[in-house]
Amino acid sequence: MRIKGIDNLKIPDEYLRILHWDKNGEFYIGIINDSIIIKKRDDCCLFCRSVVNLVRYDVFNVCRHCVEKLYESNVGDVLYKEGI
Ligand SMILES: [Zn+2]
């Protein structure tokens, strides 16, 4: 679900500053398992920040390249050591 502004959510100003969030920006809010996810709207890959060939998973975007990288990985592999 896309929402406009987050004034009613009472997110601490320190968090907003760290995340560079503008209270009046656009955000996605969703539920994954037993968690509520609030994410600033950005149309880029969660892992590599690419803006092309994106696949949407709930509030997250993942590019085709990263989907393939995840698909080809083995249990225990560490991907994106310098990323997220
Ligand atoms: Zn990517």
**Residue 3, φ and ψ in degrees, nearest 5:** -125, 155
The verdict on 37 and 47 lying in the same domain is: no
The verdict on 31 and 67 lying in the same domain is: no
Q: Which domain holds residue 84?
A: 42-84
Q: Measured in angstroms, how far is the CA atom of residue 56 from the centroid of ligand 1?
A: 12
Number of domains in the chain: 2
36-40, Cβ contacts within 8 angstroms, sequence gap of 24 or more: 38/6, 38/9, 38/11
**pTM for the full predicted model:** 0.59
β-pair partners for 17: none
The verdict on 47 and 80 lying in the same domain is: yes
The verdict on 52 and 69 lying in the same domain is: yes
pLDDT score at 81 = 65
Q: Measured in angstroms, how far is the CA atom of residue 28 from the centroid of ligand 1?
A: 19
Residue 64 structure tokens = 């085709």
pLDDT at 32 over 70: yes
pLDDT digits (tens, 9 = 90+) for 37-80: 888 888 899 899 899 999 988 778 999 999 999 999 999 998 87
